Amino acid sequence: MSRKKNPSSFIHYATKKGGSSVYGTFCPSDRKHGGKDVYIGVVVDMENGIFYHRNYGHHRFTIEGGRQVLSNSEIEYQEIISNAPKPEIPKLILDFGDMWVLDEIFGLSKLKQLFEDTYPSNTDTLLSLIAYKILDSAANCYAREWWEGSYARLLYPNAQLQSQRISEFLTRLGEESNLRNFFERYYKFISGVAGRFNVLVDSTGLPNDIHFPYTATNNHNGVISNEIRLIMVVEKTSGYPLYFKYVAGNIVDVSTMINVIGEIKEYGINIEHSILDAGYYSERNIKALYSGGIQFLTRLKPNTKLYKELVKQHARDLQSSKYAVKYRDRVVMIKRVPVDLFGYRGSAYVAIDIDRRNDEQKKYLKTALEANTPSEEIDDKMALLGMFVLISSQELETKDLLPLYYTRQAVEQVFDYCKNDVDLLPLRTHSENTFRGHLLLSFLASITFITVNKLMDGSRFCAKGVFHAARGLKCNVYTNRVIPSVPNKNVNDITKHLKLSLHDSYAL
């Protein structure tokens, strides 16, 4: 027995019996096999040997029994079979899992409503770009290609992601009125997450060689570059970014803090405590913090007069074991002393990190001995290695000092998210409004990224791991529904942790 499809999609059915061949085909005259041809009719159900002939109607045909008339019930059944809709072929196959999880988290965390309220005139474009920054993080010129192959095209069908449209969108998004609208709504949102506001303030350089009003040469810790300076305020307890501000790359940190704190207060945010980078220590800033009722903790740079005085007076005392404090796997000697901070009473914490001192002394001694440095000079330098000084408006227990100070890593974490996970760099903008829109978009993406990390707390997945694992889940798109592929164990674990339900199909 042999079977093959003819161009009209009917089955060509040939079976030899003796010297004759029996055919079920679209054409009653097929003599290439030789012998007598019998036209059976159009194949209706090949497995059951059911055919349709204009003279005999629906009938069964076998080699042994020939043509057999069907009963009424069999005819009715075969008519249903012949008239049944053919299986639908998928129109599209899309990346599904990562975008589905992200959209579910948008709704679960109420971020979607916040983002839609921020820019209601084009929410599909905004949500698509936030998702693109998190899930792909390539140049904007590839955003539409990503969207066309992602479930995002069905969730946000009105997104305008051509390169020119994205540039225009960022320019409108960066308008001052949109920024104000966002921050007013965002602080209401974040107040329910963070409660009281204890902040971390730090800055980072954004390398930029494009001709731009804020691009300037900066010398930061001996590294010279053309950059824009980005200042970030982060809520200490929650780790959420609160505010961002950009200045020219050659403006030093010390001159920006009062301005940043003042701008935040304009939105009704009252700051209770701040942990500042060493670059913000100055008489003007310290007095402003005291007069504003803001408690603070910051590090002194070694070139400040107060640092040198404190080290000279108290370095030798730190050899006593009564000053020893254990922090994680480190041992640090910390001595608290009262100090005058420009007419205000404060506390200074003179400290030696034992491990750091040993590493620095070993490295320094090799260099000094090779250079034949005088012994007295070596001794003076060695006495200062591994030392640091913190100052605060509060009298803190020395055992609580380092856990508090190192919460400032939260702001470094936000910078890391922005630069490495949500496409803040490289900068590709030439106008201030477009640049501001780019910063706001990165800010929104970092908020989302942090939220995902928080939601996955207690699982074996971080935000990156969630989207990487879910990306392998595809979907078939039909006329009226979307059918995801079968999820693997990782996807099942993620949905279980987030308490999400992955349905068998989704209506369009």
Q: Please report the pLDDT score of residue 35 as a whole number.
A: 47
CATH superfamily of the 176-420 domain: Transposase Inhibitor Protein From Tn5; Chain A, domain 1 (3.90.350.10)
The dihedral built from the CA positions of residue 203, 208, 211 and 217, taken in this order, carries a sign that is: positive
Per-domain boundaries in the chain: 2-83, 92-159+440-507, 176-420
Question: Can you give the pLDDT of all 508 residues of the chain as single tens digits?
Answer: 334 333 333 344 444 444 434 444 433 344 444 445 567 777 777 777 777 777 777 778 777 777 777 766 555 555 555 555 555 667 889 999 999 999 999 999 999 999 998 888 889 999 999 999 999 978 888 999 999 999 999 999 999 999 899 999 999 999 988 888 899 889 888 875 555 688 999 988 888 777 777 888 877 666 777 888 899 999 888 889 999 998 888 888 888 888 998 888 888 888 889 999 998 999 999 999 999 899 999 999 999 999 999 998 998 888 888 999 998 888 999 999 999 999 999 999 999 998 888 888 888 888 888 888 888 888 888 888 889 999 999 999 999 999 999 888 888 888 888 888 887 776 776 688 888 999 999 999 999 999 999 999 999 999 999 999 999 999 999 888 999 999 999 999 999 999 999 999 999 8
Three-state DSSP state, 30? coil
Token couple for 391: 């100052």
Three-state DSSP state, 436? helix
C-alpha 52/C-alpha 43 separation (Å) is 7
- Residue 51: phi, psi to the nearest 5? -130, 165
**The residue type at 178:** N
C-alpha 241/C-alpha 243 separation (Å) is 6
CB 53 within 8 A of CB 39: yes
Three-state DSSP state, 184? helix
Q: What tens digit of pLDDT does each residue of 155-193 get?
A: 999 999 998 999 999 999 999 888 888 998 898 888 755
Q: What tens digit of pLDDT does each residue of 84-136 get?
A: 555 566 788 999 999 999 999 999 999 999 999 888 888 999 999 999 999 99
C-alpha 71/C-alpha 59 separation (Å) is 9
> What predicted TM-score, i.e. pTM, was given to this entire model?
0.77
CB 135 within 8 A of CB 155: no
